[in-house]
Amino acid sequence: MQEGAESCRSLRIRGRVQGVGFRWWVRAEAQRLGVRGIVRNRRDGSVEVVLAGAAQAVEDMCARLRIGPPGARVDGVEELPPPKDLPENFEITF
């Protein structure tokens, strides 16, 4: 992928990722990297994350999601089809 190219990824994170500040950590990390998107809890206990932005920043964010914040435990990351519409910034949805 060429430098400066845009990328979009949608992921489902499984493990101990609810009730540990995971969504707020995701938003803070994404904003730090200049990535926009959405993060939300799913009823099955997972967290869904949609990322869009510069390809390298999105890849860096994906790498961070595989580790997670202190207090969380990431057991698996599943790639999902990306949505058609993305917000202009980074949102936590409920």
Give, as one character, the DSSP assignment of residue 22. Answer: H
Kindly give the residue spans of alpha helices, DSSP state H, lying in the chain.
22-33, 55-65
Retrieve residue 92's tokens.
Answer: 């936590």
Structural domains of the chain sorted by starting position, each given as residue range(s) with its CATH number in brackets: 6-93 (3.30.70.100)
Catalytic residue from among 9, 23, 27, 36: 23
**What is the pLDDT, as a whole number, of residue 4?**
63
Residue range 18-69, pLDDT digits in tens: 999 999 999 999 999 999 999 999 999 999 999 999 999 999 999 999 999 9
Catalytic residue from among 14, 16, 41, 64: 41
Q: How far apart are CA 75 and CA 86, in angstroms?
A: 26
